[in-house]
Structure formats: structure tokens, C-alpha cells
Structure 1
């Protein structure tokens, strides 16, 4: 079993080196590259103003974040959730830089970008050179529903990116092999659940009646040099 984390942040601006801060973190757990029901999501008080330009992107004002925890208050919980696996993000350098700036400010060790980062922007550009690699464009390419997406929202963006990521690594059949014990167990439980709902057991097909057999024989006489008669 391989566990990884797909995550996204929303911020007060574009550069933590000039004082911009994280205001939202969302992270989804992936097992064998498929999303589970486990996730981490928190809104954060940035301890500074939020420029109007940033609010236009994600919709948050400082009033929305009053009373929310500081990053230092949730740092250990976040680190416990992400563990030590790969960290997948769309434009990973941006999110890693902000998270590491917050971790440093909170007195925690930074995440190692070289060993942990998976950037879906790079993946998309390799797979579709010369084509747009933003999240909206990739969702449209893979027919992923964008109807709920208005302003940027870290949790929704993570869920959309999880679907995009599956497509980028080879499609929705990945990870469904018979060798996957967890997948086999899930599939088996699903079959049992469907059987319980319908209350029916599939029955064998009834043999054809005489009239059907006669029509079939008549049809065969019209077939010229059929494959099943060749030596």
C-alpha cells in the first residue's frame, strides 16, 4: 500500500518572502493513487490584512477568518496527517514555499521538496506539450465536472485535482488490479451491498424456443461462406 497526500493552499498573495501568509489548507489522502475518505481542511487566521486582489481569487476577507486558528496552532495536526509520503500539488513550488515558510515561522522543520514533491503542472505539460496546464483546462480535457467551481477553494480544488491526477497517471483503471488486496475487499463488499439492495440473484438465460431456433436457421442460410464453416 502506497500512501501519498494531495494538497492545496490559498494565501494572502503570491510571495511569503514579502509577508504573504497561508489562509486555507486542504489535503486529501491517496492510497495507491486513489482518493480515500480521509482529508484535512482548515481555515487559518493570517495575522495580517488580505488584499482585495487576493479576495477576488479565493473569496475570503479578513472578517471571514476572525477567530480561526493560527498556523502554529494546527501545525502538528497537519504534519501528523501528511506523514512522510509524497506530496502532490498543482504548481507544487508555490504551495511548498508557503507551507515551509509557515512551518519555519512555527519552529517546525520544512518539507523536503526534492524527495517529496509531485507537481501535476509538470506532469500535464509533459503529457500535453504546448497545451494549457491550468486546473480548469485539465478538468475540461478530462470531462471533469467544474460546475461547483467559482472562486478558488482549496478543498474543492483538491478533489478536482485528485480526479485530474488519476487521469494524468493513466486513467481511472489504475490501481484496480487483482493483486490489490484492499481493492479486492472493497469490490467484494460492493457486490454484496448491491445484492442486498436488489434482493435478487441473477438467473441463467432460458434456452431459445422452437420458433427462435427456426428463425436463426433461416438466417444462417443467407450468410455467404461463414467463418465457422471454414476449415
Structure 2
């Protein structure tokens, strides 16, 4: 099974096409371990200033990233952390984060690797129609504590996303009988990261889950 990583970033502003760039990145491995592996770094935006609106959201000042490593250096560290096990990257609102990664790579004549991306914002829109779909809203839905967070940050938000993912798809609620596991195993080779399979939950209801969700390993005793 591929490793799953929750990813988040903070940027100088909202518009990559207008020159905004990444100033903080984080990855948190999605696992039931109480101490998941994580990667975190600030990123030097190569002279670009943090917009006041962005500063109000994440609190990262120009001074905090002035001596940070370059995007190229951070990219190498991220890829070393992720490894070569065909990972899947979980992002909340990938349409925002991925273009920043792709643009940063293009500026150093690299290509962002063709990792599978699972966008929890799109999944939330599908699974919870008519509700709010922000990360904060999902944390509220799954009763994940936000009281310690005063501002957004890549590491804290990636950690929250990992908790949301586990609460959502790894919280139990799956009938892992031999039949259901066999069905998932048969389907998994034909389904992409965002496809779903039907399984029976303990209440006798039919729920949809990503094909790989039942295979999340439980924590070691």
C-alpha cells in the first residue's frame, strides 16, 4: 500500500500568476502512530514580500523567511522525505497548492513529480453536499480540537488534515468481512485515488469510501 501524506503550504499571497510564492511547506504521514513522521520548512520567496492579507492569516513575516532555504533546496528535502514508494498526497484544496508547487519547480527547470493527489475539498463536496467544506468545518464535523491554533500554519494544518483523514476514512465504520475485503481488493486495481467502493457499515447502511481506505493499518499495540 502506498504511503499517504497530508500536505499544506503557506504563501506570500493568493495569486501564483501574479508572482506569489510558497513561504512554508509541511508534510505529515497519515498513520495511526501517535508520533507520525513529518517534514516542515520555511521557504525563501526570492525577494517577494508577504501581502498584508496573507500575513493576517498565517503570521509569517518577511523577516522570518529572509534566511530560509530556497525552494530548490526545500524541494529536494521534501522528495527525500517522501521517498519512492508511489506515495499519495492528501491536500485540502489542491487547486490552490499544486500550481504553487508546479510553478516553483518550473522556475528551477524541474517538473513536480506525478504523484497521486487526493483533494479532500472535492471529497467533502461530494460526501457532504450542502455543508461547509473548509478544513475548519471538517475538523468541527469530526470533533478535532482547534483551540490550540491561533493562526494558519503549514505544519499545524497538515497535522489537522491528517487527523481529519483518519477520522473520516479510518475511524471504524467499515464491515471488513472477508467478502467486503475481497471486493475492495478486486476493485482497487481498477479504481483511481478518487474513486469509491461500496461497503456495509455496522448500522446496515451503505457508505462510499476510497478503495484504499479499509487498508489503513491500525496502530501498533
Q: Does the TM-score normalized on the shorter chain lie above 0.5?
A: yes
Quote the offset at 1:133 in angstroms.
0.4
Q: Which deviates more from structure 2 when the two are superposed, residues 143-152 or residues 103-112?
A: 103-112
Compared CA separation, residues 36 and 87, structure 1 to 2 (3 A): farther
Would the aligned equivalents of 2:30 and 2:166 in 1 still touch at CA under 8 Å?
no
Q: Output one character per residue of 1:77-134: Cα deviation in whole Å (capped at 9) or x when no partner.
A: 112222331111000121111111111112222233xx61100011111121010000
d(CA) in 1 for partners of 2:173 and 2:5? 20
1:92 matched residue in structure 2:
94
Q: Please identify, of 162-171 and 85-94, the stretch whose mean Cα deviation from structure 2 is larger.
A: 162-171
Counterparts in 2 of 1:183 and 1:129: CA distance versus 1, 3 Å: closer
CA contact 2:29–2:162 (8 Å) conserved in 1: no
Distance 1:172 1:63, change over 3 A: farther
Structure 2 contact 11–23 (Cα < 8 Å) conserved: yes
Partner of 1:37: 36
Highest RCO, 1 vs 2 (Cα 8 Å, sep ≥ 6): 2
Q: Which runs of 4+ in 1 moved over 3 A?
A: 33-36
Taking a change above 3 Å as real, the CA distance of residues 173 and 156 of structure 1, as seen in their structure-2 partners, is: farther
Higher helix fraction (1 or 2):
1
Identify unmatched segments of 5+ residues in structure 1. 188-231
Question: How far is 1:136 from its partner?
Answer: 1.0
Q: CA deviation at 1:139?
A: 0.9
The higher radius of gyration belongs to 1
Gaps of 5+ in 2: 182-214
Count of residues in correspondence between the two structures: 181
**TM-score by structure 2 length?**
0.73
Alignment CA distance shift 1:29-1:88 (3 Å): same
TM-score by length of 1: 0.70
Question: Corresponding residue for 1:165?
Answer: 165
Q: Report what 1:106 is aligned to.
A: 108
Query: What are the within-5 Å matches in structure 2 for residues 63-212 of structure 1?
Result: 63-83=63-83, 84-112=86-114, 116-171=116-171, 183=218, 186-187=220-221
Q: 1:35 to 1:122 in 2, by over 3 A?
A: farther
